[in-house]
Structure formats: C-alpha cells, structure tokens
Amino acid sequence: MESTSLAAVRGPPSAVVHRLSRSLPLAAALLASLAAAPALANSALLNSVKQNPQKAKALCEELRSLNGQGISYTAPQAVARVAASQGLSNTDAEILSTYVVGLHCPDVR
C-alpha cells in the first residue's frame, strides 16, 4: 500500500488555513443563531400571541385571506401587511407570522 503525506492530501498549510478562514464566519453565525433561539422563544413578541390566542387566530385569518389571493405568508406583501397591522418591523412580522403559522394554522402557506 502506498503511503501519502498529509500535505499531499489536504494541500499546503496556507490552503488549509484559507479554507478554514472561509468556514469560520459561517460557523460563528450558526452558533450565534442557536444561542439567540432561546431568547427569541421568550420574547415579548412571541409571548403576545402565546398569551392571547385570539390574536393568533386573527393573524391566521389574515394570512388565510392572503392565501386566498394567491399570496404566501412569506411573500413581501404579506410580511408588509402583517407589519402594518401589528405595528412591527418587517423582520418581526416575518418571525411572528412563522411562529403563528407553525403553532396555530399549519394549513396556511
């Protein structure tokens, strides 16, 4: 069996370092998003519908209405409409919509 050096398999050290340096930002972003998940789950934004199921149901109806017009709840128009109706930023509206659809109206697309 022929023996192969580690450098020949993985390339010169500078190439290995280059590949690692390209992967580290992605790994850091992934870890940061995982760390933020528990905080997001306890946020006032999500608690507003956890503690008020009627608000979640009303949002489901609004999203079903958009579905009836051929608009997905993730479409920019839907996100903007939820943001306006709830007094939220587009980012918060997208998070809230995703949360509500997942828990209260999985039939919404």
User: Residues 4-16: pLDDT tens digits?
Assistant: 544 444 556 666 5
What's residue 16's pLDDT?
Answer: 55
Domain, as residue range, for 34:
6-41
Instruction: Provide the pLDDT for residue 30.
Output: 59
Residue 49 and residue 37 share a domain:
no
Does a structural domain hold residue 59? yes
pLDDT averaged over every residue in the chain: 80
> Domain tally for the chain?
2
Q: Using one digit for the tens of pLDDT, what is the confidence trace for 17-75?
A: 555 566 667 666 656 655 555 555 558 889 989 999 999 999 999 999 999 999 999 99
Is residue 60 located within the same domain as residue 91?
A: yes
Burial of 37-74, coded b for 16+ CB within 10 Å and e otherwise, reads eeeeeeeeebeebeeeeebbeebbebbeebbeeebebe
pLDDT at 43: 84
**pLDDT over 70 percentage in the chain:** 61
